[in-house]
Amino acid sequence: MTDPEDPELIDTAPVVRDGALDRPIALVGMMGSGKSTVGRRLARRLALPFVDSDQEVETAAGCPVSEVFERFGEAAFRQGEYKVLARLLDGRRKVIATGGGAFAEPGTRDLLRARAVTVWLKADLDTLVARTARRDTRPLLRGPDPRAKLAQLLDRRTPDYAQADIHVVSADGPHGRVVDAIIDALTAHLEENTAS
Distance (Å, whole) CA 52 – CA 40: 9
Query: Annotated binding residue at 99?
Result: no
Query: Annotated binding residue at 36?
Result: yes
Query: Annotated binding residue at 37?
Result: yes
Query: Annotated binding residue at 32?
Result: yes
Distance (Å, whole) CA 186 – CA 136: 33
Query: Annotated binding residue at 94?
Result: no
Query: Annotated binding residue at 113?
Result: no
Query: Annotated binding residue at 184?
Result: no
- DSSP class of residue 99 equals P
If residue 36 lies in a helix (H) or strand (E), which one and from where to where? helix 35-46
Nearest to 28 by CA among 52, 63, 58: 52
Q: Which amino acid is at 4?
A: P
Q: Which residues contact 104 (CB under 8 A, 6 or more apart)?
A: 156, 157, 160, 161
Query: Annotated binding residue at 177?
Result: no
Query: Annotated binding residue at 33?
Result: yes
Distance (Å, whole) CA 77 – CA 102: 10
Distance (Å, whole) CA 115 – CA 23: 7
> Binding site for substrate: what residues are annotated?
54, 78, 100, 157
> Binding site for ATP: what residues are annotated?
32-37, 138
> Binding site: what residues are annotated?
32-37, 54, 78, 100, 138, 157
> Binding site for Mg(2+): what residues are annotated?
36
